[in-house]
Amino acid sequence: MSAAEKKRSLVVMRQSPYGGSLARASVDLALAMGAFEQNYDLLFMGAGVLQLVTGQDSQKIGAKNIGRILTSLPLYDMESVYVDAAALDRYGLNEADLVLPVSLLDESGLRSFLNDADHLVGC
């Protein structure tokens, strides 16, 4: 592939929202990729799906509300975010519990989705 060709990146979010500082850093990365008009998608896997849960209140731990930051993503031309359906299920969540409209991926869907990206950023 030529370096000039626009690559499709996939940012994989696997961190719970407030367990460390990496979740916030990777949300910032996603926002920056939007601002720089990159061709990218966001995929939430594992504990990362908890970043999308509606009604987060992070005020008492002095952190910014990650759910709220994520709702600004569509402003950057992001049509959809992708979610590992099995992870949602594991946490007893469904689409109505999330701050954004999402596309669910099952196991085989995930595999091809990960394969199709030129670059993966695993956070």
Binding site for another protein (CB under 8 A): 1, 3, 6-7, 9, 20-22, 25-26, 28-29, 32-33, 36, 38, 119-123
- The 10 Å CB-count burial string (b at 16+, else e) for 63-86 is eebbbebbeebeebebeebbbbbe
When the beta carbons of 43 and 85 are compared against another protein, the nearer one is 43
In angstroms, give the least distance from the CB of 2 to another protein: 10
Distance CA 117, CA 19 (A): 27
When the beta carbons of 35 and 90 are compared against another protein, the nearer one is 35
Distance CA 118, CA 123 (A): 16
When the beta carbons of 12 and 105 are compared against another protein, the nearer one is 12
Q: Which two tokens stand for residue 119?
A: 């670059």
In angstroms, give the least distance from the CB of 40 to another protein: 9
When the beta carbons of 21 and 54 are compared against another protein, the nearer one is 21
HSE value, Cβ hemisphere, 13 Å, CA-based, for 120: 15
In angstroms, give the least distance from the CB of 53 to another protein: 22
- 8 Å CB contact between 54 and 100: no
In angstroms, give the least distance from the CB of 3 to another protein: 5
